Amino acid sequence: MKALRIDHVGVVVNDLSAAKAFFLVFGLEELGEAKVKGKWVERIVGLNDVESTVVMLGLPDGEATLELVKFHTPSDDLGMQPSFANTLGIRHIAFAVDDIEGVVVRLKEKGADLIGEIQNYENTYKLCYVRGPEGIILELAEKISFLN
């Protein structure tokens, strides 16, 4: 088991339209926008009553993806504080992995904390958040493949 690549960088923002406009001007392309809520996301990020809007942006060559997230609930009215999944600014780096359970065990052995739970997202990915040293949050993403 090993990390495969950085999947995306997530940035929690208060003004989604201004942040999106900035990155579009910068040269990223919009890949999609969606409302996100429900128990599956609450279990991944370790928060209750999550309702957010997510905008995915990418470089034209497809090599990097940026996720902008506006948490409508719960909101972060305190500004920059100890890092949580909905704290403003860059909060996590996502890595594609080939054995999410094994990686979590290995990281926990090194002192990391699983923030929520490992969740299956629509039978396409297993996802979770892990808090490491200095409060750094990693999102682990294992693509689920079905062999017939």
Confidence of residue 146 (pLDDT cuts 50, 70, 90): low
Neighbours of 1 (CB within 10 A): 13
Evaluate whether residue 57 is within a structural domain.
yes
Evaluate whether residue 148 is within a structural domain.
no
Q: pTM higher than 0.75, yes or no?
A: no
Token pair in block for residue 18: 């201004």
Evaluate whether residue 14 is within a structural domain.
yes
Evaluate whether residue 33 is within a structural domain.
yes
pLDDT digits (tens, 9 = 90+) for 51-70: 999 999 998 888 889 899 99
Evaluate whether residue 46 is within a structural domain.
yes
Q: Distances in Å between the alpha carbon of 22 and those of 10, 52, 65?
A: 15, 20, 15
Into how many domains does the chain fold? 1
Evaluate whether residue 64 is within a structural domain.
yes
Residue range(s) defining the domain that contains residue 25: 3-143
Backbone phi, psi, residue 24, to 5°: -70, -40
Neighbours of 23 (CB within 10 A): 17
CATH of residue 48: 3.10.180.10
